Structure 1
Amino acid sequence: MTKEVTSFVYVTYIASTPEKVFEAISNPEITRRYWGHENVSDWKPGSTWEHIRANDERTVNIVGKVIEFSPPNRLVISWASPARADNPESHSRVTFEIEEYEDMVRLTVAHDELEADSDMAKGISKGWPVVLSSLKSYLETGSGLDVFAKPKAA
């Protein structure tokens, strides 16, 4: 039986350069500042990458493989929870497309091959918007957002 899959596409415009946006996605010292995690890899196609919480516990939250690394315009990675990393069927794919757009950058993040209605898909649908907003804020102002913030109680 084939699993039902879903995908999400997010587009944002950032007053920056493709080089700075690409570095902000792939440099762990920068990702920790707006994402609260470090994206760690040697970024060679076929290599592993880890999404490590930037706190004292250093929990590995997501793992995957580097599929394509083409600075400063394209990065493609697989994405899985560590508990399911050994099962290729559980991996989804994230594609970062970075293009110059007049005096700014158009960043498109496509997260596809997600199992429909899974906890991962539900988390992705809430997580990417705040992460990308924080990335934009960081690159434009020097300060990221609190990506772990929760809605205020009514």
Structure 2
Amino acid sequence: MTGSKFVYVTFIRTTPEKLWSALTTPEFIRQYWFDMVHDTEWKVGAPWRMLFPDGRVADTGEIAEFDPPRRLAFKWRNEFRPELKAEGWSRCVMELEPADNAVKLTVTHAIDAENSKFIDAVSGGWPKILSNLKSLLETGAVAISQK
């Protein structure tokens, strides 16, 4: 296999429907994603943008798959760091599977570039974001505040 990949698996004590809602409701996303805005229509083929709280574009892409409450995939590119943008498009897939009284969430973020700086960057961000998501759904509060 060529390219670079980051995979993160967590189990969240919730239902697939509640987790799906948390992944696709902009107001809820802002709570665990450090006040970032996800701007999209949440349907296959729709453009997607992630915006910093001040409105600057962080990342862009497109909704590649939308299969509630099982699978969500994005075509994804960084827009604010030239060295990351130069690596091109990545793919982020979120898979939800019922697991007893929880939901197994698997996030796979991959890019064709070997030794990708972009994948290095997201491998530091995803654990914080997904820990916040898990904490917010299970306790009502995020675990990690903004930097």
TM bin, normalised by shorter chain, reads 0.7 to 0.9
TM-score (norm 1): 0.84
Answering whether residue 32 of structure 2 is matched by residue 65 of structure 1, we say no
Structure-2 separation of matches of 1:102 and 1:132: 20
Gapped runs of 5+ residues in structure 2?
none
Answering whether residue 142 of structure 2 is matched by residue 144 of structure 1, we say yes
How many aligned positions are there? Answer: 142
**Which deviates the most, 111-120 or 7-16?**
111-120
Structure-1 separation of matches of 2:112 and 2:29: 23
Gapped runs of 5+ residues in structure 1?
150-154
Letter in 2 for 1:69: F
CA offsets per residue over residues 60-111 of structure 1, 9 Å max, x none?
2111011010111110101101267xx8970100000001111110000011
Moved over 6 A (4+): none
Tell me by how many angstroms 1:115 deviates: 2.5
Instruction: Give SS of 2:32's match.
Output: helix
Percent of aligned positions with the same letter in both sequences?
37
Structure-2 separation of matches of 1:29 and 1:115: 33
Q: 1:64 to 1:51 in 2, by over 3 A?
A: same
Structure-1 separation of matches of 2:145 and 2:104: 21
TM-score (norm 2): 0.88
CA RMSD of aligned residues (A): 2.0
Would you say the 8 A contact 1:25–1:39 is kept in 2? no
Would you say the 8 A contact 2:43–2:66 is kept in 1? yes
Would you say the 8 A contact 2:16–2:96 is kept in 1? yes
